[in-house]
Structure 1
């Protein structure tokens, strides 16, 4: 196998191999928000990642998460199952985005939001990736809009 010349530098052993995290190996020892369960798969803690965090979130039937944001992290969300809604404040009022399996959501840094699962029977399951190595979670008492610079 031929390596690119940029790959000849010495790296830590954990950074010189591909890591396989099996479905049953996800870790629940991460920041939590009421009404949901976060499970960590890829992080600085689990595989030594430096710039990404990936995991699952489960929102039980008929449940709302607490209001929260993810600090400096950009967050990408893929809807695996269920029909969760994502709620944030746009400055005029609360905005509710209804999703379904196969949809994606992008949450910018510091935007307070919450997840809601209105289904009385089916849990909502989503896969989350963040632009930081750890799953930053800051629980907040209410949804407030971020100040927006004039255009």
Structure 2
């Protein structure tokens, strides 16, 4: 019988991640820890893959806070500050915080897949896909 002091730890192997979660064009989200997979009540964690030379669709994550850890590649996180486009260029080891309802997109201008680990303050992978809010800037 489990109680607050004797809960069961769960081990989710990388090969067990599922794509059965909210998706956005241009990226693949894989769910690891959620209400659905392990019974969590306050946390969603997964991995996102963005192919080289790809931009995701614009989206936000509802009322959840999101923490992003860059594992590999150099993804760029793009959002609007009024009429100004802001680009956060990252490298492995960096973290990015995304506040609730903040429209954004991920871009991968590099020639290798970008991999990030995401945690959200929800037991579900909340994703709200949006019509294009602004056009990606061609920096070539």
TM-score by length of 2: 0.90
Aligned residues: 132
Work out the CA distance in 2 between the residues paired with 1:81 and 1:38. Answer: 15
What SS is found at the alignment partner of 1:136? coil
RMSD between aligned alpha carbons?
1.5
Structure 1 runs, 4 residues or longer, greater than 2 Å off = none
Q: For 1:45, which of 36, 50, 59 is the aligned residue?
A: 36
Work out the CA distance in 2 between the residues paired with 1:102 and 1:54. Answer: 17
Question: What residue in structure 2 maps to residue 107 of structure 1?
Answer: 98
Work out the CA distance in 2 between the residues paired with 1:136 and 1:105. Answer: 17
Trace 1:40-119 onto structure 2 (pairs within 5 A).
40-119=31-110
Name stretches of at least 5 consecutive residues in structure 1 with no aligned partner: 1-5, 9-14, 145-151
Work out the CA distance in 1 between the residues paired with 2:64 and 2:106. Answer: 17
Name stretches of at least 5 consecutive residues in structure 2 with no aligned partner: 135-140
* Greater helix fraction, Structure 1 or Structure 2: 1
What SS is found at the alignment partner of 1:41? strand
Question: What residue in structure 1 maps to residue 12 of structure 2?
Answer: 21
TM-score by length of 1: 0.84
Q: Is the 8 A contact 1:85 1:117 kept in 2?
A: yes
Q: For residues 46-101 of structure 1, give each alpha carbon's deviation from its aligned partner in whole angstroms, at most 9, with x where no partner exists.
A: 00000000000000000000000000110000000000000000113111110000
